[in-house]
Amino acid sequence: MSPDQFIIEKSRAAVCALFGASLPESSFQVQVTRKEFEGDYTLVVFPLLKVSKLSPEATGKAIGEWLTENTSEISSYNIVKGFLNLSFSNDFWCGLFASIASDPDYGQLPSTGKTIMVEFSSPNTNKPLHLGHIRNNLLGWSVSRLLEANGHKVMKVNLVNDRGIHICKSMLAWLKTGNGETPESSGKKGDHLVGDYYVKFNEIYKREVDGLVSGGMSREEAEKNAPSLKEAQEMLLKWEQGDPEVVALWKKMNSWVYAGFDKTYSDLGISFDRTYYESQTYLLGKALVRKGLDMGIFEREPDGSVWCDLTADGLDRKLLLRGDGTSVYITQDLGTAEQRFSEYNLDEHIYVVGNEQNYHFQVLKLILKKLGFDWADNIYHLSYGMVELPEGKMKSREGTVVDADDLLEKMYNTARETSLELGKLDDMTEEEQDGLFRTLSLGALKYFIIKVDPRKTMLFDPKESIDFNGNTGPFIQYTHARIKSILRKAAGKGIVPEPASADVVLTSKEIRLIKLLDMYPGKVAEGGQAHSPAVIANYAYELAKEFNQYYHDTPVLKEEDEAVLRFRLLLLSTIAGILVKAMDILGIRLPERM
């Protein structure tokens, strides 16, 4: 039983014995005692005054005396106004630590029986993955792992946007200017190659628009009537009609992109339980559009387009089908949502999508509710802020994005330079050093992005992320390696970690570390409830920081009392184990040595 739950249970008994009242658990507020006061945990007395009929100080004194007299675990108390500060006995902390250290599944919450689907990544096949996709992928992966730690069954899925006007733009530019270029002939990754042609299309399009404007056409009209755009629109119609040549080119170029994506996912340590393709799902929503028309909640315009009027709900009119019968993104999302809830009987569906789509998901849920699907309430949009760089924002159509592959390479080089500067790798082979640099670079990238609350826009600085000091992945990785080094030295001397014996008196710093270890399951639950792996990231940092302060002030291998030494080794081993569990949720590996 956790200390706060123990205090609640015993305080309920005290109130019942002292004041003859049976109060619910919610009446008892317990918090960690502030550092400036003596004590381990604090009971807030004010909510209990209605039954004690005494002053806050007198109520606290009565409960404190009852607890110290009737529970061996509470060793002392003090009162500060309406706050009862309680100190636990040495035996209590030793027992709590022993239970944590002996539990191999510590932090894994019980099974809930719930099935949750998490959709993330969702790239377009007209360009490679970029820094924004990296935040999306890392959030999606870590949220999935966090929900698994909360006892849920989780399905990680990807919806690849492999059709549409943007795909046709890359295809058209390749036909016009590619001269048969392939990934093999160019030496480029397939997603990079196709992305280059997306940029080329926009260069062609911009020249055409400028030419039409200089010829007297308004820019708005020019942007609609540029020849290349009309050709791309015609190509999309041909694709939807199954034109053999267009479909063959589409399959070829998409296959290049998929191979490129798979390499980047592998480098990031990301995988999916199922991948959906828009080309296979974009028609699913059309049946729902017909259903909505039959129900009278959608309306067809004279040009054939279909709309849903949400103005009475404080929103806008939403296009569901264009006049030519082609679908839009929300058409597909309506269909895939119905398909997934029906197929997997989901308890929750989480979409990891940037905050620029907040309105889209408001509309999606509302339309599904109007169509009669009560499970629409179980759709959750994990909305995250954009990633910016010191140089400013990224623009994909101008080719100024920070490419994911380039960033991974830059992170590797930065990790290599930083590690070599420290000069502690002389006993490592080149292969071992390479593995370490990759572990550090991914740890730096993932941690720096995940430690920020998902809802916030963030500034990513590669150099800052790789720092071995401060709130970074490498700092936590180095802490783990440091602990492992201590444990190896102890093992070399034949010293085995053991729980504290009865005569081991814990220091205040050791109690502080045990308190932090005790918080881990609660942090898992808190992070899962908030869909925020940042909770776990910052917990891991606090634990690593507290250990380093402890180790700086406390001898371990030089400790002469063997019982104390063995306890401290077990404490270190347990800290290392919890760091591994926490960082594993984030998809970050911790090296054994650095």
Q: Give domain 404-585's CATH number out of 3.40.50.1370, 1.10.730.10, 3.40.190.10, 2.40.50.1020.
A: 1.10.730.10
pLDDT given at position 6: 95
Q: Name the nearest CA neighbour of 391 among 303, 481, 461, 294.
A: 461
Average pLDDT over residues 474-494: 96
pLDDT at 458 over 90: no
CB 201 within 8 A of CB 224: no
Domains 3-88 and 115-272+332-398 fall in the same CATH topology = no
> Helix, strand, or coil here: 391?
coil
What pLDDT band is residue 171 in, cutting at 50, 70 and 90?
very high
CB 444 within 8 A of CB 589: no
pLDDT at 398 over 50: no
CB 130 within 8 A of CB 401: yes
> CA 346 to CA 336: how far, in whole Å?
13
Residue with tokens 């959608």: 298
> CA 319 to CA 307: how far, in whole Å?
5
Give me the torsion for CA of 554, 558, 559, 564, rounded to 10°.
80
> CA 62 to CA 59: how far, in whole Å?
5
What pLDDT band is residue 1 in, cutting at 50, 70 and 90?
confident
pLDDT given at position 427: 83
What pLDDT band is residue 419 in, cutting at 50, 70 and 90?
confident
Backbone conformation region of residue 472, classed left if phi is above 0, alpha if psi is from -120 to 50, else beta: beta
pLDDT given at position 396: 44
pLDDT at 49 over 70: yes
Q: Over the chain, what is the mean pLDDT? A: 94
Q: Name the nearest CA neighbour of 148 among 590, 575, 536, 561.
A: 536
CB 560 within 8 A of CB 530: no
* pLDDT, tens digit, 9 for 90 and up, residues 58-100: 999 999 999 999 999 999 999 999 999 999 999 999 999 999 9
pLDDT given at position 469: 84
pLDDT given at position 402: 81
* pLDDT, tens digit, 9 for 90 and up, residues 237-266: 999 899 999 999 999 999 999 999 999 999
CB 522 within 8 A of CB 571: no
pLDDT at 394 over 50: no
Q: Where are the domains of the chain?
A: 3-88, 115-272+332-398, 284-326, 404-585
> CA 30 to CA 14: how far, in whole Å?
15
pLDDT given at position 463: 79
Average pLDDT over residues 118-144: 94
CB 56 within 8 A of CB 46: yes
CB 320 within 8 A of CB 268: no
In percent, the amount of the chain with pLDDT more than 90 equals 85
> CA 585 to CA 148: how far, in whole Å?
9
CB 6 within 8 A of CB 73: yes
CB 382 within 8 A of CB 146: no
pLDDT given at position 555: 87
**Stretch among 281-295, 358-372, 461-475, 528-542 having the lowest mean pLDDT:** 461-475
The two three-digit tokens of residue 589, written as one number: 């590996």
CB 487 within 8 A of CB 573: yes
* pLDDT, tens digit, 9 for 90 and up, residues 328-374: 889 989 999 999 999 999 999 999 999 999 999 999 999 999 999 99
What pLDDT band is residue 400 in, cutting at 50, 70 and 90?
low
pLDDT given at position 131: 87
Fold held by 3-88? Gyrase A; domain 2 (3.30.1360)
> CA 88 to CA 67: how far, in whole Å?
11
Ordered alpha helix ranges (H), 345-403: 358-370
Residue 225, C-beta contacts closer than 8 angstroms, at least 6 positions apart = 212, 217
- In total, the chain counts a number of residues equal to 594
> CA 181 to CA 443: how far, in whole Å?
36
Give the CA count within 13 Å in the CB-facing half-sphere of 593.
13
pLDDT at 395 over 60: no
Please give the CATH architecture assigned to the domain spanning 115-272+332-398.
3-Layer(aba) Sandwich (3.40)
CB 91 within 8 A of CB 128: no
pTM, 2 dp:
0.90
pLDDT given at position 391: 66
Going from the C-alpha of 593 to that of each of 382, 488, 575, the distances in angstroms are: 36, 10, 16
End-to-end C-alpha distance for the chain, whole angstroms:
37
